[in-house]
Amino acid sequence: MKIIDPFILASSSPRRKRLLKEAGFNFSAIESNIKESLDLRFPPEAMAEHWAREKAISVSQKYPNKLVIGADTIINLKGKILGKPKDKNDSFKMLKMLSGKTHEVITGISFIRSSNNLDITYNEISYISLRILSDKEINFYINNYNTLDKAGSYGIQSFFSIHVLNIKGCFYNIMGLPLSSLYTRLKSIQKK
């Protein structure tokens, strides 16, 4: 039974592709090649929405008749935006900053279909509280897991989960796609 029409995910993220595949969505994935920068002077929610929309627009220009979904996930710690780390040293600094604190994981989602001017963008926020991490624990994680392709330097779905005290909001949003709200929005878009 087909519930949702096929769409293009403007991403090469293995986590986003896995989430959509496991949830049964019919999609293809095309990397947008947008180079994100956190130097823009936007509030955190606007930053995530901006880059999600830029990714979707980039792919939609090549596929104007297809629905394209862009996504961007950032970490907000009291107004400081954390994206993907540059290197292991940057990962260490990020994880040290997040240690013992509650932060926001914000994912911007954008739906673009150029042929009929469909242009909808929103964001979802989840809140994560971490226990205090020792330098030894941070170094172990950085040296044994890939931290360089994840906003904030951690992946909630694997080993790092042992450091999570509390989650408020959508778990899948933390992995990069708020599946329930995505599904709800897709259903409403396809009625148009």
To the query of whether residue 72 is one of the catalytic residues in this protein, the response is yes
DSSP states of 130-151 as a string? Answer: EPPPPHHHHHHHHHHS--TTSG
Token pair for 107: 């994912």
Pairing mode, strands 68-77 and 7-9: parallel
How far apart CA 12 and CA 128 sit, in angstroms, is: 25
Number of helices (H) and strands (E) in the chain: give both, helices first. Answer: 6, 7
- Residue spans of beta strands (DSSP E) within 31-163: 68-77, 80-82, 102-113, 118-130
Return the bridge partners of 167, or none: 128
Q: Which amino acid is at 85?
A: P
Query: Among residues 5, 39, 72, 87, which one is catalytic?
Result: 72
Helix (H) or strand (E) holding 98: helix 88-98
Cβ neighbours around 19 below 10 Å, total: 20
- Active centre residues (catalytic): 72
